A = this chain, B = another copy of it.
């Protein structure tokens, strides 16, 4: 049928598809602005109207994507669309770009066409309403008040997965919303490897007699912290003409190549927390900034997927921001903002890399224990969606797994299963991409180190241009031109693997903790 359709292709079918997709993308980006506003600016009372606005955008986007005409154009153009794995053509070869556009729009079209508009609207409405419920449940430490909403969201997302593909396990289907090309088997294999390798490594760190520096024992003014975060963004090369920094309860980054914003939050007892979170979100924003302007409104101007996105944030956070070289550069800036703190580069490096085995909170976790927080969430959400775990059991299972993986137990659900926003967003299948991103960050950083002359020396000298260029050239500028495995292999000359990450943490924490 593809061949038949190709012969009847109208000359401007591709132009029409691009125009149509441009509108779809415009509506989607408008929704992102509304989400940013909701988290950062919107007054409390705005929720009911905002929910309905977002539901309308979501429905409109869904209708455009699933429209018969979209399907017809894709069919007309399908002769020009090779299968997803033929990535051997040149990146800039027009027919390759066109095939990628058709592949990506088709994937979205098919997924959306299978889900009834009413269900899409119900999910959008329920998640908007769930947000304040989750916020209050967390503030009040009352899982029971969040449980009914969570149950409803699990049911809605199972129903969604059933519509997309009734023949595959629903969690596998949901995972593809965030990570369409790295299959769930690969993801599970990597997460299992992390559990197997990191649990004993964390135990060795726990048993180590080494005591790393911890010079930040006072209270640190939020305004000075914000100034420090802005210093960091300046130093790393954030494009302020195309972005802004604000505070949000749950830091995130969002936007387009023309306007990629960063948020952070300030804890007066932990000045490096906000700094590292800012660098993390900077990594996301710099990926968005690196997408090609002239691809805006097409898949060629959109980021690949969440794992790749997270690889950019983790690369900047962990491989730059937590490196000895960075602290040789940046420790004096900390000293400027907090003159009372007695911390040189080595002390800052140590505190930025302390392993907190008894930490309960994912977003405060160190580079090592972080992944156990993810493995735990992955196992719980997978079982929830599979139907192997009741919502009511979540707090108990959560606490048991914390004990098993990290040897600690939360006293309160607010520090346990209520800590993250994701499930209130209806995002099941999202968490694994955090760890996959960290693993990919290590692989990309190792490749950049091979390609660039003395990357550490560049960091020490605040020369971030070559790293930005390398990442833009290897990752950002391609948008969705390649599938994730293709992109990884082209960027690093190797298939996706956990080895560089495991090497990185063994080396770093081995040295730090004298293992």
Does A185 interact with chain B (Cβ within 8 Å)? no
Does A452 interact with chain B (Cβ within 8 Å)? no
Does A474 interact with chain B (Cβ within 8 Å)? no
Does A23 interact with chain B (Cβ within 8 Å)? yes
Does A26 interact with chain B (Cβ within 8 Å)? yes
Known: A48-B296, A241-B45. A60 touches B27 (CB 8 A): yes
Query: Which one, A36-44, A173-181, A199-207, is touching chain B?
Result: A36-44
Known: A22-B56, A52-B297. A46 touches B256 (CB 8 A): yes
Does A59 interact with chain B (Cβ within 8 Å)? yes
Among candidates B31, B37, B47, B243, residue contacting A37 with C-beta atoms closer than 8 Å: B37
Of listed A49, A239, A242, A293, residue having the most chain B CB within 10 A: A49
Does A338 interact with chain B (Cβ within 8 Å)? no
Does A30 interact with chain B (Cβ within 8 Å)? yes
Does A53 interact with chain B (Cβ within 8 Å)? yes
Among candidates B22, B27, B42, B64, residue contacting A259 with C-beta atoms closer than 8 Å: B42
Does A91 interact with chain B (Cβ within 8 Å)? no
Interchain CB contact under 8 A, B41 and A34:
no
Q: Which residue of B lies closest to A25 (CB)?
A: B56
Interchain CB contact under 8 A, B56 and A23:
yes
Interchain CB contact under 8 A, B29 and A259:
no
Does A33 interact with chain B (Cβ within 8 Å)? yes
Known: A26-B55, A49-B258, A53-B26. A241 touches B43 (CB 8 A): yes
Interchain CB contact under 8 A, B43 and A37:
no
Q: Which residue of B lies closest to A239 (CB)?
A: B45
Does A333 interact with chain B (Cβ within 8 Å)? no
A243 to B261, CA, bound (A): 23
Which residues of A360-377 are within 8 A (CB) of B? none
Does A244 interact with chain B (Cβ within 8 Å)? yes
Binary per-residue interface labels of chain A (52-88) against chain B in the complex, 1 for a CB within 8 Å, 0 otherwise: 1111110110001000000000000000000000000
Residues of B within 8 A of A26 (CB): 52-53, 55-57
Q: Which residue of B lies closest to A32 (CB)?
A: B53
- Tell me the minimal C-beta distance from A388 to chain B in angstroms: 38
A47 to B256, CA, bound (A): 11
Known: A23-B60, A60-B23, A296-B48. A30 touches B43 (CB 8 A): no
Residues of B within 8 A of A241 (CB): 43-45
- Tell me the minimal C-beta distance from A497 to chain B in angstroms: 36
Interchain CB contact under 8 A, B244 and A41:
yes
Interchain CB contact under 8 A, A50 and B259:
yes
Residues of B within 8 A of A60 (CB): 23, 27, 60, 64
Interchain CB contact under 8 A, A259 and B43:
yes
Q: Which residue of B lies closest to A58 (CB)?
A: B26
Give the number of chain A interface residues (Cβ < 8 Å). 45
A56 to B256, CA, bound (A): 15
Interchain CB contact under 8 A, B296 and A45:
no
A240 to B43, CA, bound (A): 7
Residues of B within 8 A of A239 (CB): 45
Residues of B within 8 A of A27 (CB): 53, 56-57, 60
Which residues of A275-312 are within 8 A (CB) of B? 293, 296-297
Interchain CB contact under 8 A, A30 and B56:
yes
Interchain CB contact under 8 A, A259 and B23:
no
Which residues of A6-37 are within 8 A (CB) of B? 22-23, 25-27, 29-31, 33-34, 37
Does A429 interact with chain B (Cβ within 8 Å)? no
- Tell me the minimal C-beta distance from A254 to chain B in angstroms: 12
Interchain CB contact under 8 A, A259 and B296:
no
Residues of B within 8 A of A242 (CB): 43-46
Residues of B within 8 A of A297 (CB): 52
Does A257 interact with chain B (Cβ within 8 Å)? yes
Interchain CB contact under 8 A, B46 and A258:
yes
Q: Which residue of B lies closest to A60 (CB)?
A: B60
Interchain CB contact under 8 A, A244 and B56:
no
- Tell me the minimal C-beta distance from A487 to chain B in angstroms: 23
Known: A244-B41, A258-B46. A296 touches B52 (CB 8 A): yes
Residues of B within 8 A of A44 (CB): 241-242
A347 to B398, CA, bound (A): 67
In addition to A26-B55, A45-B258, A60-B64, 7 A-B residue pairs with Cβ atoms within 8 Å of each other are: A23-B59, A26-B53, A30-B56, A37-B37, A41-B244, A46-B256, A48-B258
Could you tell me which A residues sit within 8 Å of B by CB distance? 22-23, 25-27, 29-31, 33-34, 37, 41-50, 52-57, 59-60, 64, 239-244, 255-259, 261, 293, 296-297
- Selected A-B contacts with CB under 8 Å, 5 pairs: A26-B55, A26-B57, A30-B56, A37-B37, A49-B259
- Please provide the 4 A-B residue pairs with the shortest distance between their CB atoms, ordered closest to farther: A26-B56, A46-B259, A45-B242, A49-B258
